[in-house]
Amino acid sequence: MLDRKLIREQPEIIRQALADRGCECDLDEILELEKQRCEVTSQVERLKSRRNQAGEQIAAGKKSGQDVQAEIVAMRGISGEIKVLDGRLKEVENRLDSELLKIPNIPHGSVPRGDERANQEIRCWGELPRGEFEYKPHWELGERSGILDPVRAAKIAGARFMVYRGAGARLERALIQFMLDLNIQEGGYTEIFPPLLVNRDAMIGTGQLPKMENDIFRIQAEELYLIPTAEVPVTNLHCQEILKAGQLPIKYVAYTPCFRREAGTYGKDTKGLVRQHQFNKVELVKIVRPETAYAELEDLVQDAEKILQKLELPYRTLVLSTGDMSFASAKSYDIEVWHAGAKRYWEVSSCSVFGDFQARRANIRFRDEAGKVQYCHTLNGSGLATSRLLPAIMENYQETDGSINMPPALVAYLGGRKKITPDGEWE
């Protein structure tokens, strides 16, 4: 949610930002509604002031035994007017809110303008594996060895679900544990395990709704939503709170399954783990003071990259352009890991700073040293998504015979085991 005062006073800034994003939003309607809101508020409050005064007089009159019937009758008219104006105000506010919730965030000045072609690679790490053979995609390796079983997953749930078996399940679990431990011990994050279903307010708070209605699973009977990312419950942990300055920065790490409908992606990326309705992700969330937000973003990206470095997986980091950023983001870095079988990079993390955009929606504030209440800034990033990480390990660490070596950093999490054989057993 953008600052209404900013929209009112400098609409050209917002117009430029929307144009950079390639967003067609109607700012004029918002400006008009905002004007109406101020006018009607003013009117109705004047009437209420009169009503309050009259109330005192009636009370005093009754106490001293005077006849106040005439005044009571007179106030009936005022009360009626108030009711009408209150109704109008409510309607204006509802319309204004619903429009406001659809306006995306303003990109930071350092973000390159343009569509996805304007994304800039800012770092590249590691060397691409160069075996003397044809690298197989992970779905082939997985199905042949039986550690991934999409066919049985389809029987019980449908397309875009996966069953992990034996060494595959263990590897998935090891990755999650490894990333949690790393972020807790070296990154100083506090671990959270949140609810996987949340209410509508939480979804609005972080900006998934109302825009992404079609991409989210909804539990109809209860008006609850399956989280598409841990960002939603974890950021909203502090909604409606005024934090103490000393509590900031707050740094949380959370492993959760994530659920996405992936509507409109039929026929795309149908093989393997890269685009599933349910996948696992370790998420990093920060709530910080405004002046530290961009430094915190750089740290956040480093925390995510460190995981790939420890696992010795080659990756590159991009800064996303204004046209390619997500709805709520002010600036985003994507980290993409190399998949040797698919012969391409896949996004494994997206690290974003949101300014006060989410904090306004979720009403997350803090009291500074001067006693002034201001909005926090929020950030988050994957650290990391296993659905892109596990394939990277399978594909990059594979050998000619279809066996898969384990990254050395992970061996301790696998009970000392170092290799999965071509038939899915531990060697």
Binding RNA (rule: CB under 7 A), the pick from 23, 27, 54, 118 is 54
Contact residue for RNA among 6, 13, 90, 427 (CB under 7 A): 90
Sign of CA dihedral 164, 166, 168, 171: positive
Residue 409, CA distances (Å) to 114, 319, 390 in order: 39, 28, 14
Closer of 4 and 165 to RNA (Cβ): 4
| Residue 55 in contact with RNA, rule: CB under 7 A | yes
- Contact region with RNA (CB under 7 A), list: 37-45, 102-110, 125-133, 400-408: 37-45
Number of helical (H) and strand (E) elements in the chain, helices listed first: 12, 16
Contacts (CB under 7 A) with RNA, residues 322-351: none
Q: Which residues pair with 285 in a beta bridge?
A: 252, 380
Burial 332-354 (b: 16+ CB within 10 A, else e): bbbbbbbbbbbeebbebbbbbbb
| 56 interacts with RNA by CB under 7 A | yes
Q: Is 244 a binder of RNA (CB under 7 A)?
A: no
Distance CA 378, CA 283 (A): 13
Examine residue 49 and tell whether it contacts RNA (CB under 7 A). yes
Write down the least CB distance from residue 47 to RNA, Å.
8
Contacting residue, 19, 84, 157, 242, with RNA by CB under 7 A: 242
Instruction: Tell me if 6 contacts RNA by CB under 7 A.
Output: no
Q: How far is the CB of 55 from RNA (least distance, A)?
A: 4
The window from 249-257, 281-289, 336-344, 369-377 that contacts RNA (CB under 7 A) reads 369-377
Shortest CB 71 distance to RNA, Å: 7
User: In angstroms, what is the minimal distance from the CB of 293 to RNA?
Assistant: 19
Query: Rounded to whole angstroms, what are the CA distances from 398 to 58, 130, 223, 371?
Result: 87, 11, 45, 58
Nearest to 234 by CA among 91, 383, 357, 379: 379
Give yes or no for residue 46 binding RNA (CB under 7 A).
yes
User: Quick check: is 275 catalytic?
Assistant: yes
State yes or no: is 388 an active-site residue: yes
According to CB under 7 A, which one of 59, 122, 159, 263 is a site residue for RNA? 59
Choosing from 60, 84, 128, 169, the residue that interacts with RNA (CB under 7 A) is: 60
Q: Mark whether 12 is an active-site residue.
A: no
Question: Quick one: how far is CA 85 from the chain centroid?
Answer: 38
Is the CB of 268 or the CB of 372 nearer to RNA? 372
Extract the tokens encoding 352. Answer: 């974003």
Taking CB under 7 A as the rule, does residue 245 contact RNA? no
Q: Is 123 assigned a catalytic role?
A: no
- Placement of tokens 């996405």 in the chain: 260
Q: Which residue has the tokens 């539990």?
A: 219
Contacts with 76 (C-beta within 8 Å, 6 or more apart), sequence order = none
Of residues 42 and 220, the one with the C-beta less far from RNA: 42
Please, is 168 exposed, middle or buried when counting C-beta atoms within 10 Å of its C-beta (0-12, 13-18, 19+)? buried
**From candidates 29, 62, 131, 186, binder to RNA by CB under 7 A:** 62
Catalytic residue among 37, 88, 218, 275: 275
CA distance 297 to 115: 22
Active site residue 350: yes
Closest Cα to residue 360, out of 96, 105, 108? 105
Q: Which residues are catalytic?
A: 260, 275, 347, 350, 388
Positions touching RNA (CB under 7 A) are 4, 37-38, 41-42, 45-46, 48-49, 51-56, 58-60, 62, 72, 75-76, 78-79, 90, 242, 365, 367, 371-373
